[in-house]
A and B are shown apart, each in its own frame.
Chain A
Amino acid sequence: MELPRSQRLFAWLDERFNLSPLIDFMKKKEVPIHRHTIWYYMGGVSLFLFLIQLFTGILLLLYYQPGEASAYDSIRFIMNKVPFGWLFRSIHSWGANLFVLFIFVHMFSTFFTRAYRKPRELTWVTGFVLLVLAMAFGFSGYLLPWNELAFFATKVGTDIAGVLPVVGDAIKLVLRGGEDVTGATLTRFYAFHIALIPAIFTVFLGLHLLFVQRQGMHEPESVAGLPPERKKMIPFFPNFLLRDIFAWLIVLNVLLFLSVFFPWELGVEADPLAPAPSGIRPEWYFMFMFQTLKFIPPHVLGIEGEVLGVLAFSVAGLAWLLVPFWEIREKDSDRLKPMALIGFLALAFIIVMTIVGYLV
């Protein structure tokens, strides 16, 4: 009896690529179900938002023209003349914010459930790099419409990078493509946004997903200790994937709602010769750092306050990246959980400083 066409195709591929072990692996892959399962969806939602960014970004690329004289007008053209251009631009802008937000949620849920522990150290490291790259996506994309607010925020942002000792000036020069934020900065940020960062991001995302698939989902300690008969597991395919898609549809709906009812504004075209307007602020995910730098006195122990702040954030970021390698282990009987406390303080600091940044 002749096999159906799909099976014949699979057999053809299997013969050449030996796919059967992979399919067997997928079939056997299971995901634990427990009261912390909801956090498993955060990574999937972040991935979904990244795909949306990729899709809408490519559509915007068809019309966007980088350049001091053309960037703003091309975005205006996209928003007003291109069919559904307003929607894709708005989805891209809102999507970027939700993307960073869900990565933050994903990271903190990973931190608090101790999912970074052996054997997932590199999954954590690649995840943190992806967060930094997502923020770099945001920073570079923010300037592309070449509006007043983005222009001055980029000026401030690159100035902050420039205060780093020894390498600061060089970093600033490379970021700006000159002494000041000009059209050269815009084309440079465009290159970062659509080529350099996506290329690096894709590598780290591939590694991150590979690690997750290879090692499976982490079980929190409260679940891992249970006997097998008390653990509830579901297959990754199709059960968990369908649950993932369920979450994606909800996020898609929210994204559409935000894009239609709160369309992302274009603002006023940047004028490098105009004085800086009041209320220059970075994107919300940089706000906690921006606000902290504003609070640090001009000089602390003979060191320039801003330099100290930037160094402190660099050290804190490095420490956060290396959490799996220096984690303070506590006993079950310990009432004080040092890592939970560190995580809580970091989260509280970010939330409070962000709110203060918008209120002050």
Chain B
Amino acid sequence: MISRPKSYLFTLLLTAGLGYPAVAQDVPEGLQEDQCVVCHTDLEALPENFVFDNVHMRPRMSCAGCHGGDRTTDDEEIAHAGDFVGVPTAEAIPSFCGSCHSDINYMRQFQPSASTDQVSQYFTSAHGQALRQGDENVATCISCHTSHATLPASDGRSSVHPFNVPDMCNGCHGDAALMAEYGFRTNQYGDFVESVHGTALLERQDIGAPACNDCHGNHGAMPPGIQSIENVCGMCHVNNAEFFESTPMAVAFAEEGLHACEECHGIHDVAKTFDDMVGVGDESVCTMCHDEGDRGYEVADSIHAQLVMLKSVQDSAQVLLERVQNIGMDDVEISYSLRDANESLIQARTAVHSFEPEKTGELTDKGVESARAAMAMANEEIEGFRFRRFGFGIATLFITVLTVALFFKIREIESSRAS
């Protein structure tokens, strides 16, 4: 088998000998006959941000696949004649890309299950609608996917990989001058990176955490409306949304024109929740609307008390568990029980969105029961440990007495024998 550098040299010599145009050394295999690639590489006239790994750089597609022209000739005039498009305008880009991506018969050659509705979705988005109205500053396909470094979203180098999406969107939405034209704020990215979602995605590299497109949509990007915001959050936080939707609070929110979820948790700056968010303390979000004396105030107070109670018993059980582990006693059943308590706490925190103390109380009572069972087992283990030491003390005492008695018996036998 000929190695790659050797094969290039071989091809170069062979084609030169036959009178064919020379092939650039750094053109990947399969594209060496493509004269667009060969000439633009030789002339160092490849587009900015061009990468050969680009998904479109494959035989029978490459440059001419999008830009038209004749890829078989090295004659510039002939190559750039006919259906040659050159650089499309922003307005033309959706149909430029859509000529392939909206054609299922063409796309299924590469991805049998490919969706081909990107362009139609795009024109439902705020970006697409503005473009239709002649605004060429809005994002088009290449704004997100790039023009010549288009890589699959699963590729870590891709601009649309989940880890890169916030930064990519911020390219425009963080541009104060550009956004000023639309009257948009530019703090979304800053809020997001500090949020529970942003830290999970960008710091902990949790691919399951949401990026911009998970809430706003991909090609049909739109800010969620008042009615749809709980559905957006509910895509992941299913139980929370279900609880909320069935409460009178959901109706009241809609009547008041308040955004569900967002009013308590924020938008892009969604912080990690904590038990004191409920209740009537300084950090409570309930007291933003409810005052002392009203029903909501009482409900918030009692739910908070239930959560605090469970957390406190769970913490005590955790301390005992660590003690059991430190002394090397059996911790298996205790851990299981404590896990049950923790599960109840998570369920109770979710059930907070029902705003029913009976519902949350049922779960916290169950959790308290599990945590107390764990404490009882831990105390039994600690007691067992003490018993072992006590038992050892008794055994040692017995053995020592026996040893001393034996010592005197031996002396007695040996002295009587000597005398």
Contacts and interface: CB of A to CB of B under 8 A. Distances in A.
B396 A253 contact: yes
A263 B399 contact: no
A13 B85 CA distance: 118
A349 interface: no
Contacts of A245: 406
B110 interface: no
B409 interface: yes
A171 interface: no
A257 B391 CA distance: 11
A260 B389 contact: yes
B335 to A, nearest CB: 12
A265 interface: yes
A299 interface: no
Taking residues whose C-beta sits less than 8 angstroms from the other chain, chain A's interface range is 20 to 34
B403 A250 contact: yes
Contacts, number: 47
A234 interface: yes
B328 interface: yes
Contacts of A246: 403, 406-407, 410
B387 to A, nearest CB: 11
B204 interface: no
Nearest to A249: B403
Contacts of A261: 392
Contacts of B414: 234, 239
Contacts of A265: 328
B392 A256 contact: yes
Interface residues of B, number: 20
A31 to B, nearest CB: 12
A243 interface: yes
A87 B392 CA distance: 10
A169 B284 CA distance: 72
Interface in B164-194: none
Interface in A282-315: none
B392 A257 contact: yes
A242 B410 contact: yes
Contacts of B396: 253, 256-257
B400 interface: yes
Interface string A234-258: 1100110011011001101100110
Of the listed residues B332, B395, B400, the one surrounded by the most CB atoms of chain A closer than 10 A to its CB is: B395
Contacts of B409: 242
B399 A242 contact: no
A80 interface: yes
Interface string B392-405: 10011001101100
A235 B410 CA distance: 12
B132 interface: no
A79 interface: yes
Contact of B410 (A80, A243, A257): A243
6 contacts: A80-B332, A234-B414, A253-B400, A253-B403, A257-B396, A263-B328
Given A242-B406, A246-B406, A260-B389, 6 more contacts: A79-B330, A235-B417, A242-B409, A249-B406, A260-B391, A261-B392
List 5 A-B pairs, minimum CB-CB distance, nearest first: A80-B330, A260-B392, A249-B403, A253-B399, A246-B406
